[in-house]
């Protein structure tokens, strides 16, 4: 009897792209709103962005059922944190929690490619980028998802953070202003939409700064 392979997969890829850019005192997190399966579109209006805490926002592409489950887990853990510490969780703390949560399912992973964006304890913008099993790093900018291969080299060209191998370690946040960063993000998605079939419809942009959370939308090509 030859070895049988699985005739179904527990995972599906719903496509989409996420980007986050950290500024001196702000953070921009953006994702498109298209949800697809195979070559079909499931909906043009699905948010991949989730506010985990006052100063911490997560955008995730991949398998949205796993993403939803992950978001619920983190929200529940955040409630426990608030009861125990009497305050909201900080972005670096949530970053570690997300990593641990992902690695907890190392042998049946959340099919979720995450970017975490927010303000750190000093009020500076921070972005953390993850793989599906929790390996993470603090960076100045990142993108994940189907359009990331198109967007990342462009961001490198525009925002290249100093190499992490250079000592002393340099600040990775961009000197761009908030509006310049938002424009850059819009440019990224407009370009990615042209060539990535899974990216398009609408762009959701969330900006976190000391005033709070601001959300805006931009139309993208629908083909």
Q: What residue ranges bind another protein (CB under 8 A)?
A: 72, 76, 79-80, 83
Name the minimum Å distance from CB 32 to another protein.
25
Name the minimum Å distance from CB 89 to another protein.
15
Shorter beta-carbon distance to another protein: residue 80 or 213 = 80
Residues in the chain: 223
At a CB cut-off of 8 Å and minimum separation 6, what does 47 contact? 31, 33, 204
Name the minimum Å distance from CB 97 to another protein.
15
**E runs forming strands in 54-201:** 56-62, 112-119, 125-130, 136-139, 141-145
Name the minimum Å distance from CB 143 to another protein.
30
Name the minimum Å distance from CB 105 to another protein.
17
Name the minimum Å distance from CB 64 to another protein.
16
Shorter beta-carbon distance to another protein: residue 75 or 213 = 75
**CA–CA gap between residue 147 and residue 124 (Å, rounded):** 27
At a CB cut-off of 8 Å and minimum separation 6, what does 76 contact? none
**CA–CA gap between residue 126 and residue 120 (Å, rounded):** 6
**CA–CA gap between residue 217 and residue 209 (Å, rounded):** 18
Strand order in the sheet with 56-62: 49-53, 56-62, 112-119, 125-130, 136-139
Shorter beta-carbon distance to another protein: residue 27 or 70 = 70
Shorter beta-carbon distance to another protein: residue 58 or 150 = 58
Reduced to 3 states (helix: H, G, I; strand: E, B; else coil), residue 201 is coil
Shorter beta-carbon distance to another protein: residue 89 or 173 = 89
Shorter beta-carbon distance to another protein: residue 76 or 213 = 76
Give the number of other Cβ atoms within 10 Å of residue 22's Cβ: 31
């Amino acid at each position: 009897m030859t070895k049988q392979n699985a005739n179904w997969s527990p995972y599906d890829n719903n496509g989409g792209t996420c980007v986050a850019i950290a500024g001196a005192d702000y953070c921009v997190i953006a994702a498109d709103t298209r949800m697809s399966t195979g070559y079909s579109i499931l909906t043009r209006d699905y948010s991949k962005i989730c506010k985990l805490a006052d100063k911490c926002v997560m955008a995730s592409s991949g398998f949205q059922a796993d993403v939803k489950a992950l978001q619920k887990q983190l929200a529940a853990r955040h409630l426990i944190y608030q009861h125990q510490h009497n305050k909201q969780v900080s972005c670096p703390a949530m970053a570690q929690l997300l990593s641990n949560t992902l690695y907890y399912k190392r042998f049946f992973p959340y099919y979720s490619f995450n970017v975490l964006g927010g303000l750190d304890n000093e009020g500076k913008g921070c972005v953390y980028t993850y793989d599906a099993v929790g390996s993470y790093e603090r960076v100045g900018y990142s993108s994940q998802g189907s359009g990331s291969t198109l967007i990342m080299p462009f961001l490198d060209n525009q925002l290249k953070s100093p190499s992490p191998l250079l000592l002393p370690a340099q600040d990775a946040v961009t000197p761009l202003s908030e509006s310049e960063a938002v424009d850059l993000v819009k440019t990224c998605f407009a370009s990615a939409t042209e060539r990535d079939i899974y990216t398009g419809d609408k762009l959701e942009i969330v900006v976190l700064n000391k005033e709070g959370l601001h959300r805006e939308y931009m139309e993208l090509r629908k083909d």
